[in-house]
Structure 1
């Protein structure tokens, strides 16, 4: 109830996480206890890090291009102002 999801939805998500290898399950009496497996998260972290490096480099180049454009616009604005004087 606290997460606003039905038990069937929780079971479906846990099954998907189990199939993907992110959790392991062990029966305890009539219950099934799920726990996280750290290994897949390490792989996920490495995958995300590769994209982070890619996007950091792209955003750095984008920032440099914006700065050059801003600098060129500022210089152009100064030249126009001098002509008006």
Structure 2
């Protein structure tokens, strides 16, 4: 089953480590571009481009207060990512459970 084109934007948006870091920073609440850009060694226009992509994907919203733009996390679209990842998480949990069982049945002996 393929994803609709609009949802692919979410996956593309979070594929970039800078955009994921921006989302992490927005978990702490609404922030201006200047606040968001502080830890990054890149230009303000580059940060603005990343924020634009996040806004287009619906992961971030913005509002204007005077001359300042404030950005806020919108986590709802990430549910689609979580839903997609969930079966793989179950797969790895089963593998870890099997490994735990194997280790209990075959204890390592120290020499």
TM-score of the alignment, normalized to the shorter chain, above 0.5: yes
Aligned to 2:42: 5
Higher relative contact order (CA 8 A, sep 6+): 2
How much does 1:23 deviate?
A: 0.5
> Which of the pair is proportionally richer in helix?
1
Give the aligned length: 71
Aligned to 1:23: 60
What's the TM-score once normalised by structure 1's chain length? 0.58
Please show how residues 5-84 of structure 1 align to structure 2 within 5 Å. 5-54=42-91
- Select between 38-47 and 7-16 the one with higher mean Cα deviation: 38-47
- Select between 4-13 and 39-48 the one with higher mean Cα deviation: 39-48
Distance 1:41 1:31 in 2: 27
Runs of 5+ in structure 2 lacking a partner? Answer: 1-37, 99-111
Runs of 5+ in structure 1 lacking a partner? Answer: 62-85
What's the TM-score once normalised by structure 2's chain length? 0.47
